[in-house]
């Protein structure tokens, strides 16, 4: 059965680039999207902390089934690392838990060398990581004594833009799962200092850019601005996340809509990729396909028989 919007008509479907402002939680930002489109089916490529700002890639309607494809993307951040004090949350909203002298620029530059490439990183205690079935921040606020396990992340680029002896402005290009708050903590410790983030700006998610995002709070009609920013998921979106695309002729659409087996010859454009997006000749998104034991299987079929 086809779902509808609470505002009337069919449920909206697609993605939009949203600029989150500092002081607004990602939950509230996504709630505004839900209200604008009259649907509870809204997903994203990774939240931003309340104090942070920048790009959220938001999926709406049936396209929320593609969230796993978007969450694995690399990201680019600009952050202000304040040396001298570490807070329990590693951001400006927390309580100071440790103090130490700030490093000089030479010490800082030398320490950064160890944080490029693949590193092991422990998420912040105040984070959404699951620990024993609960969010770490819930356990932390309840006073539980928990240990955050380290996990591998990749720092593709780490650039010191400027340093005034107290605050360093950094540019970080990193893999999914990287916490810039943890990076500030660990770099400071490597310098024999302490630090926390005072500002964070996300400017890029995979190939999506902040400059292309809608800022509903700058619009006269925020809900109309959000609705106007919705785009269909198609070649541009898949190109942005680095997923190859195969275009199917109209004669094969019914075959896919009814879930009949995939013919590998249709997916030659995917080369050795583990997954591929299937599009119709008119650019409509049809389905995802994933390679499994040298065979191709459907991941998510968007096209339904009633759409033919």
Domain count for the chain: 3
Short-list 180, 283, 230, 214, CA closest to 14: 230
Residues 48 and 38 in one domain: yes
Residues 80 and 141 in one domain: yes
Residues 100 and 185 in one domain: yes
How far is CA 304 from each of CA 142, 249, 257, 300, rounded to the nearest angstrom?
47, 16, 5, 11
* CATH number, domain with residue 40: 3.30.2350.10
Residues 53, 20: Cα–Cα separation, whole Å: 5
| Greatest extent of the chain over all pairs of C-alpha atoms, in Å | 69
Domain hosting 18: range is 14-73+207-228
In the residue annotation, 221 being an active-site residue is answered as no
Say which range, 7-16, 83-92, 115-124, 278-287, has the weakest mean pLDDT.
Answer: 7-16
Strand pairing class (117-121; 130-131): unpaired
Burial class (CB in 10 A: 0-12, 13-18, 19+), 244: middle
Q: Residue 185 belongs to what H/E stretch? A: helix 180-190
Considering only residues 287 and 305, tell me which one the structure prediction assigns the higher pLDDT: 287
pTM equals: 0.91
Highest mean pLDDT (candidates 41-45, 100-104, 140-144, 287-291): 100-104
Residues 281 and 218 in one domain: no
| Structure tokens given for 234 | 């198609």
For residue 138, the model assigns a pLDDT of: 56
Residues 194 and 79 in one domain: yes
The residue from 13, 28, 49, 221 that is catalytic is: 49
pLDDT per residue as tens digits for the range 98-128: 999 999 999 999 999 999 999 999 888 765 6
For residue 93, is it within any domain?
Answer: yes
pLDDT per residue as tens digits for the range 127-166: 565 555 556 555 556 555 666 688 999 999 999 999 999 9
């Amino acid at each position: 059965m086809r779902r509808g919007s609470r505002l009337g008509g069919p449920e909206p479907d697609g993605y939009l680039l949203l600029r989150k402002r500092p002081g607004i939680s990602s939950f509230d930002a996504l709630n505004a999207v839900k209200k604008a489109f009259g649907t509870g089916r809204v997903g994203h490529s990774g939240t931003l902390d309340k104090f942070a700002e920048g790009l959220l890639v938001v999926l709406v309607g049936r396209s929320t089934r593609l969230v796993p494809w978007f969450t694995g993307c690399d990201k680019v951040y600009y952050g202000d690392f304040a040396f001298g004090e570490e807070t329990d949350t590693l951001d400006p909203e927390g309580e100071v838990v440790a103090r130490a002298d700030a490093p000089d620029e030479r010490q800082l530059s030398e320490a950064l060398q160890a944080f490029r490439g693949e590193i092991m990183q422990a998420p912040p205690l105040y984070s959404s990581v699951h620990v024993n079935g609960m969010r770490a921040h819930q356990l932390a606020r309840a006073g539980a004594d928990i240990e955050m396990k380290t996990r591998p992340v990749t720092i593709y680029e780490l650039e010191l833009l400027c340093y005034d002896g107290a605050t360093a402005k950094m540019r970080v290009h990193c893999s999914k799962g990287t916490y810039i708050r943890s990076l500030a903590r660990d770099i400071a410790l490597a310098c024999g200092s302490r630090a926390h983030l005072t500002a964070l700006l996300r400017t890029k998610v995979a190939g999506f850019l902040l400059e292309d995002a809608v800022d509903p709070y700058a619009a006269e009609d925020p809900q109309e601005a959000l609705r106007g920013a919705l785009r269909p998921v198609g070649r541009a979106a898949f190109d942005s996340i680095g997923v190859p695309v195969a275009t199917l002729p109209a004669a094969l659409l019914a075959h896919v809509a009814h879930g009949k087996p995939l013919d590998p010859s249709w997916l030659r454009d995917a080369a050795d990729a583990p997954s591929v997006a299937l599009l119709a000749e008119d650019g409509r998104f049809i389905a995802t396909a994933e390679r499994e034991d040298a065979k191709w299987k459907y991941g998510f079929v968007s096209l339904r028989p009633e759409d033919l």
